[in-house]
Amino acid sequence: DGGITQSPKYLFRKEGQNVTLSCEQNLNHDAMYWYRQDPGQGLRLIYYSQIVNDFQKGDIAEGYSVSREKKESFPLTVTSAQKNPTAFYLCASSIGGSAYGYTFGSGTRLTVV
């Protein structure tokens, strides 16, 4: 079955450490996105990529980095520069940037300990 796989489901990080969240899709979608969700907040866009080797900052990119070396993969690194990283992170993809067929992964819950 096609879909988006995010791993791990739960992640604990010590302050000052970088961590990388995985996002893999087998839907052959061109565009991929990373969102952050905090309690009482909607989804806020961190980074997005429309094609391989290209990505753009979203609304809250500070303290995060991404890469898009393969069409299927869009990993997100939460760096030590992100002051408040505890949140639920969602990856999504879409066909050529269309809102129709927008597909979400099951998310990674990151907690700083």
Partner 1 sequence: EDKVVQSPLSLVVHEGDTVTLNCSYEVTNFRSLLWYKQEKKAPTFLFMLTSSGIEKKSGRLSSILDKKELFSILNITATQTGDSAIYLCAVHDRGSTLGRLYFGRGTQLTVWP
Contact 73, 23 (CB under 8 A): yes
Contact region with partner 1 (CB under 8 A), list: 16-24, 61-69, 71-79, 94-102: 94-102
CB of 80 to partner 1, least distance (A): 27
- Alpha-carbon distance of 50 to 63, in angstroms, equals 21
- Of 56, 62, 69, 111, the one binding partner 1 by CB under 8 A: 56
CA-closest candidate to residue 6, choices 68, 79, 82, 88:
88
Residues 6-45 interacting with partner 1 (rule: CB under 8 A): 31, 33, 35, 40-45
Q: Where are the alpha helices (DSSP H) in 24-95?
A: none
* Owner of token pair 């819950």: 109
> Does the protein bind partner 1 through residue 100 (CB under 8 A)?
yes
CB neighbour list of residue 6: distance below 8 Å, 6 or more residues apart:
21, 22, 23, 89, 90, 91, 105, 106, 107, 108
Contact region with partner 1 (CB under 8 A), list: 18-26, 63-71, 73-81, 98-106: 98-106
Contact region with partner 1 (CB under 8 A), list: 14-22, 68-76, 77-85, 97-105: 97-105
Residues within the interface to partner 1 (CB under 8 A): 31, 33, 35, 40-45, 48, 50, 56, 58, 90, 94, 96-100, 102, 104-107
